Amino acid sequence: MKPHPKIIGRILEGIGRSKVICVAGHVRPDGDCIGSQLGLTLALLDQGKKVVCWNEDHVPHKLAFLDPHNLIQSPSPGQRFDCVIATDSASFERLGKVGKCVQNRKLLINIDHHASNTRYGDINWISGREPSTGELIFRLLKAGGWPITPPIADCLFTAVSTDTGSFQYPSTRPSTYHVAAELVKLGANLAKICDEVYQSYPLSRVRLLKHLYNHFRLTQENQIAWLWLKKADFARTGADTSDSEGLIDHIRAIEPVVVACVFEELQPDLTRVSLRSKSARVNVSEIAGQFGGGGHHAAAGARIPGKPMAVQRRVIAAIKKALNAGRS
């Protein structure tokens, strides 16, 4: 494990001065967000802090096992905090309603692994080299000498595993395996985590997957795969938005595909776009950045206002341009 940067000392010092803390996560939380939020919250509670754990959205069904005591709650206004810690959120806006409810605070700490992070905190620990925020939280707890109990290990292992695609993404580093091994040694229940996260999909998600295979499209000599998810598709399948998490990987995995794209209708004139690249030549974070979004080299997204077909044309054109530039 590399030496702990000074920034960790500043974070631990800030936490040490604080009695009332809010741990905040981004809207549409994934495994890294939920795992990081809960792992840190449990550790802070063990340190005797008064902690609330807030997210605008519900915990996805497949991650509910991590929160048996319902620690993650919807935000409520009017509370005062010594410290707010945002985990895995690349911008303050990504906190959604939580951001509006944490204005009365002394200190804002921003811990994240997105290179596109806007550094909105009073203290910012942004490490784009790390494949997950869960790994950063692990390093924070180790540096503080705080016990990592089996429930905390479950949370952090889930965070690390999900954001590395079960240790398959190129962002996975040797240190990631060391962290995962230590978390298993500390009590992470590997069998339960894998069963809950990867092998217990509700029927509604399978119906959504059927929709994906029936309706995805290919273009640019099969190098671009894309799919629309409309509100009607969720209603027809009985799925909710959390069921769409990871669907994009199924079209990304098609052999000739270089960039996968999912368009999701949020409102009639607002579309959520998810992008995945499996080529070092195409940085989808740069593509998302053209539309006010961001993320990582191989995984990024944006929320784009405008008529759906106009959004589709603009995004596909930007992907084609990036593919052509990558060839030269």
12 assigned to some structural domain: yes
Burial 128-147 (b: 16+ CB within 10 A, else e): eebbbbbbbbbbbbeebebe
CATH assignment of the domain containing 59: 3.90.1640.10
Q: What angle do CA 282, 288, 292 make, to 5 degrees?
A: 155
Domain boundary among 198, 231, 255: 198
For the chain of 328 residues, list the mean pLDDT of each consecutive stretch of 10: 74 97 96 98 98 96 96 96 97 96 97 93 94 97 97 98 89 94 97 94 93 96 97 94 90 96 96 95 94 90 96 97 85
167 assigned to some structural domain: yes
Distance (Å, whole) CA 83 – CA 160: 25
Q: Are residues 126 and 14 in the same domain?
A: yes
188 assigned to some structural domain: yes
Q: Are residues 239 and 319 in the same domain?
A: yes
pLDDT of residue 138: 98
Q: Are residues 77 and 207 in the same domain?
A: no
What is the domain extent for residue 242? 203-327
pLDDT of residue 44: 98
β-pair partners for 163: none
Total domains, the chain: 2
257 near 224, Cβ under 8 Å?
Answer: yes
Distance (Å, whole) CA 59 – CA 71: 10
Q: Are residues 215 and 161 in the same domain?
A: no
Q: Are residues 162 and 311 in the same domain?
A: no
75 near 54, Cβ under 8 Å?
Answer: yes
Q: Are residues 71 and 217 in the same domain?
A: no
275 assigned to some structural domain: yes
pLDDT of residue 76: 95
pLDDT of residue 328: 60
1 assigned to some structural domain: no
Domain boundary among 198, 213, 233: 198
Domain boundary among 170, 198, 226: 198
Q: Are residues 28 and 48 in the same domain?
A: yes
Q: Are residues 158 and 32 in the same domain?
A: yes
Distance (Å, whole) CA 273 – CA 257: 17
Task: Give the residue among 256, 65, 35 at the shortest CA–CA distance from 157.
Answer: 35
Q: Are residues 138 and 210 in the same domain?
A: no
pLDDT of residue 1: 44
Q: Are residues 247 and 296 in the same domain?
A: yes
